[in-house]
Amino acid sequence: MLSIKQIFDIASDARYSYITENIVEPFLMKKPKNSKKIQKERKPLSEENLKKLFTSKLYTDKLKHTLTFAPEKYWIPIIAGYSGMRQNEICQLYVEDLKSITTDMGEIIWYFDLNEEKDKHLKNENAFRLVPLHPKLIELGFIEYYNSIKNKQPRLWKNLRLHPKEERYNTDYGKNFMKYFRKHVTEEEDQVFHSLRHNVGDQLMKNAVHYKLPKDLMNRIMGHEPDKDMTSVVYSQGYGVEELYEGIKTLDFKDLIHLKLNSTCAMLPFQN
């Protein structure tokens, strides 16, 4: 059966000339040219879902197994939740991308150097940045994990492989995470891994006001485009690790993310 549009298309065809134009055309809903890129809006994880994720079996009943055989499943969501880094930014990290500086006060600050060296890819030019480690990652033993593998493997996560077609390290990890997430956390479509980035971004913007820190400092942590004025563009590129650390350590999910490794579990992934 012909649609109304098709009937009027035929009627307005030059071969028949029943009418001069298709009068229904202006009333039709047009599909955007970039419709393939449109996806459902992703929202920050709700308080309930944050708690459910970090109290699920990967962080409780299966903790020893996870730390021993698949440490990336433990660490990657935590890193995202305390940095706002994108999933592939974390998955593609090499051992050499974790660096440190010592401040004039003698404090050691660890940070990720996000770059496109070797086979890594970043979303845009603003994604090239330095992201300090939140104190919670240090508390949980991430540096011990790093020290245990840095001379044994080139990349932080030896179980993750570069996808041959997509050329990304998070392809398989992302699928497995979402399968687990949908089963153990929520089936809400707007709640996904990337929601953690929204949690971080929202809190950093609030903290910029509360702690009287520059908004562009927070934008730099997230890899967002700086404000359009020239001053913001210049200064946002000039923030050093110490300044960025002041921003990152304002993140506080202690009431929602209850994570603590006991001494026995903490040593599991670090054994030879």
DSSP string for 9-78 = HHHHSTTT-SSSS-TTGGGSPPPPTTGGG--PPP-PPPHHHHHHHHTSGGGTTTHHHHHHH-HHHHHHHH
The reply to whether 137 falls in a domain is yes
14 and 109, same domain (yes or no):
no
Read off the pLDDT of residues 180-235 as tens digits, 9 standing for 90 and up.
999 999 999 999 999 999 999 999 999 999 999 999 999 999 999 876 543 444 44
User: Looking at the predicted structure, is the pLDDT value of residue 101 above 90?
Assistant: yes
The reply to whether 235 falls in a domain is yes
**Cβ(52)–Cβ(181) below 8 Å:** no
| Mean pLDDT across 109-121 | 97
In three-state secondary structure terms, 94 is strand
Read off the pLDDT of residues 219-228 as tens digits, 9 standing for 90 and up.
999 999 876 5
Q: What CA–CA distances, in Å, run from 35 to 32, 82, 139, 194, 214?
A: 5, 32, 44, 20, 36
Q: Choose among 263, 247, 145: nearest CA to 206.
A: 247
The reply to whether 55 falls in a domain is yes
125 and 237, same domain (yes or no):
yes
Provide the residue range defining the domain that includes 8: 4-30
13 and 98, same domain (yes or no):
no
Output the pLDDT for position 263.
38
78 and 204, same domain (yes or no):
yes
Distance CA 99, CA 240 (A): 13
- Give helix then strand counts, H and E, for the chain: 13, 3
Output the pLDDT for position 253.
84
In the block, tokens 């090239």 appear at 128
User: Looking at the predicted structure, is the pLDDT value of residue 152 above 70?
Assistant: yes
- Could you give the percent of the chain with pLDDT greater than 70? 75
26 and 80, same domain (yes or no):
no
Distance CA 183, CA 146 (A): 30
CATH of the domain at 203: 1.10.443
The reply to whether 38 falls in a domain is no
